[in-house]
Chain A
Amino acid sequence: MSEMTLAKALNAGLRQSMERDSKVVLMGEDIGKLGGVFRITDGLQKDFGAHRVIDTPLAESGIMGTAIGMAYRGYRPVVEIQFDGFVYPAFDQIVSQVAKLHFRSLGRIKVPLTIRIPFGGGIGSPEHHSESPEAYFVHTAGLRVVAVSNPQDAYSMIQQAIACDDPVVFFEPKRRYHDRGEVDETVGLEGPGGLAMDAARVLTEGTDVTLVGYGPLAKTCLDAATAASDEGISVEAIDLRSLSPIDFGTIEASVRKTGRLVIAHEASQTAGLGAEIAASITERCFYFLEHAPVRVTGFDVPYPHSKLEFYHLPDLDRILDGVDRAMGRPNSLSGIEDGE
């Protein structure tokens, strides 16, 4: 075991994958000598060469499209999108090409492509640098979508994503890049505790409310569980980890126990992941629910300028307020009918 940041854990995981399989190549802007703007690929070009760590022209669709061609040729490309808000120029190549090639070719073409996207806010960036575009990709059949939240998962899940024969959109919580944690480097493809990347993890057990979060908010949800317990509420916090497919089994088992569900994410509310989880869990657990599922999310606004972003992002208090709503305790909507 060694302590490292989430950023270093990703770097170590990439290195493991590149050593394991000579067909793994990294592609992206500034990922070579610079090591990426977040230094996730630091030192890899020096050790593996410019044909394994490829500095590309500044063209996101070009990066994605050529990575597909590399996959046709038998490579396993790992593409870095520099920031969440810059993935949109590559949107067609991702949703119309990457996601559909296996289906379109009747299973003949595999696209084992990993698309790394630093996502989420809270670091005081200018616009287009703090977005949470996961719902666009979750809505697209053919893609797997995961979000890591801690160094150990970052280390293992990046290796699992690269080894996966399906394309994986891999979200990295940029405001957690420098969070430190223990990483067992003997745990690679099998995941910590044998946990596959498409499984959710119960962070802390509880009996009153199920609280689901992912990526940057997994830690906030755990903090909320601790804070709630001081108020006598037993929260079961779940780190979703996989956004597509969603591990409904784990959430369902939890909600059958607690009868209440709160979902937190930074992305805007409308048609976000919270909506999908609320609807699916209501279908599956209707007779177990004591309260309608509650969403605590970013607002339906463009990602705001940094002086306002902390009002937009769900923080500990807003999540606790959501827990109070689910519990029927006094909350910000008290006196107003739910749903208004």
Chain B
Amino acid sequence: MTAGHGGSPIQLLSPDGVRHPHERYDRFLADVDGRVEGADSAALLVSIYEDMVVARRIDAEGTALQRQGQLGLWPPFVGQEAAQIGSAHAIGPDDFIFPSYREIGVAYARGAELPDLVRQWRGNAHSGWDPFAMNMGPSQVVIGAQTLHAVGYAMGVLFDGAETAVVTYFGDGATSQGDVNESMVFAASFQAPVVFFCQNNQWAISEPVGVQAHVPIARRAPGFGISSVRVDGNDVLACLAATREALERARSGNGPSFIEAVTYRMGPHTTADDPTRYRDANELEDWKEKDPIARFEAYLASIGVVDDAVRARAAEKADSVAEAVREATIHMPDPEPESLFEHVYAGPQPVLERQRDHFERYRRGIEGGIGAGAATTAEGGR
């Protein structure tokens, strides 16, 4: 049995921020531990810390913007910063990521333009960033569907003889989906260079993870012939190390891996959700004590990498990013009505063009006076 895949998750940082050596994983942290000649371990650690702080701030801003009516919906990931930022820092620029909809922290760490983080939640498009500009697919709303795309992409990598690896993110609920299980069958059969990164945040909307899995989720993968590990998802170093190990396995032709990052969704499923209806307040308090950012910060303070100046700089950056997100959201122009018909097909489609033509005529008619009447009726309530 793979270490850490059944019992307590692998942990390199205890909740009070103490770094524990680990026989298997320390070799994946040589750079951040200062054991690599020429590597600026302090800078690496600070960049991870800043990304976590900024990600949390983006999340808070997203929630606030939704409450203020600027976004239609927002899927908070507060509490999952270690899982997202730790794994994201392991992924190379040529690697391709297939996320769910909650990997906003990953997208930020990947270098997404800030307006692209909110575009779909404002309702301006179904996606934001250019997938091929940052090697990260659009966010996926159908639970688990993206894991198959990841495996197919990885099969393509395999047939190309490339050294690229693929990472797909999904939650604990997704592990019940047929697609996730089928993707593991395909990945194992073809020995595809793919990493399954499950953020087990304990809740699939109102359903606790026990409804999805009777045993630790990481135990499922070995049944497919996939090596798996269970890590403390609130421990950013464990997430970084486990992802690096899995990516190394993928790139060296040793096939797929499965990581279960045991974490906690501190907020609601989305801003439309009310976790007080199904979740014990004590549970949240317990998990707050395992906060991923506080833990990492305590560690960094203990080794002298973080001081008040670094904290202040991170907070300042978070504020300025949040401000930029807010400005981008508020000033994002609505899409043009005719763009409704764009990108349905790659080539012309005559039936759709006829509908577009009809719509344009209708719109011109409205501007000619019908619309004014309709607006008056609406405004005047007549």
Contact = CB atoms under 8 A, between A and B. Distances in A.
Contact of A248 (B126, B130, B183, B351): B351
Interface string B124-162: 011100111000011000100101111111111101100
Contact of B148 (A54, A68, A248): A68
B95 interface: no
Interface in A22-75: 25, 51, 54, 56-57, 59, 61-62, 64-75
- Of B126, B145, B149, B183, most buried by chain A (CB within 10 Å of CB) is B149
Given A65-B179, A92-B142, A105-B138, A97 B351 contact: no
Contacts of B132: 108
Contact of A166 (B157, B186, B345): B345
A299 to B, nearest CB: 28
Given A61-B178, A104-B138, A109-B131, A66 B347 contact: no
A180 interface: no
A334 B282 CA distance: 76
- Of B150, B186, B347, most buried by chain A (CB within 10 Å of CB) is B186
Given A70-B152, A92-B145, A109-B131, A102 B186 contact: no
Interface in B316-361: 342-347, 349-352
A72 B185 contact: no
A69 B185 contact: no
A144 B160 CA distance: 29
Main secondary structure of the interface of B (DSSP, over half): helix
B268 to A, nearest CB: 25
Contacts of A68: 148-149, 152
B307 interface: no
A244 B346 CA distance: 14
Contact of B156 (A64, A75, A249): A75
A95 to B, nearest CB: 10
Contact of A102 (B125, B344, B351, B352): B344
A112 B345 CA distance: 11
Given A59-B185, A62-B186, A104-B127, A72 B345 contact: no
- Of B132, B155, B347, most buried by chain A (CB within 10 Å of CB) is B155
Contacts of B96: 72
A68 B145 CA distance: 10
A218 B137 CA distance: 42
A166 B132 CA distance: 18
B149 to A, nearest CB: 4
Contact of B152 (A73, A142, A249): A73
Given A65-B182, A104-B127, A73 B160 contact: yes
A164 interface: yes
A122 B189 CA distance: 36
A92 B153 CA distance: 19
A190 interface: no
Nearest to B189: A57
Given A97-B145, A104-B138, A72 B152 contact: yes
Contacts of B147: 65
A105 B131 contact: yes
B152 A165 contact: no
Interface of B: 96, 98, 125-127, 130-132, 137-138, 142, 145, 147-157, 159-160, 178-179, 182-183, 185-186, 189, 342-347, 349-352
7 contacts: A66-B183, A69-B156, A89-B178, A96-B145, A103-B126, A104-B126, A144-B345
**3 nearest A-B pairs in the assembled complex, by CB-CB distance:** A69-B152, A65-B148, A73-B156
Given A107-B343, A141-B352, 14 more contacts: A62-B182, A65-B149, A66-B151, A66-B152, A69-B149, A69-B152, A71-B152, A72-B149, A73-B152, A73-B157, A97-B142, A105-B126, A105-B343, A244-B351
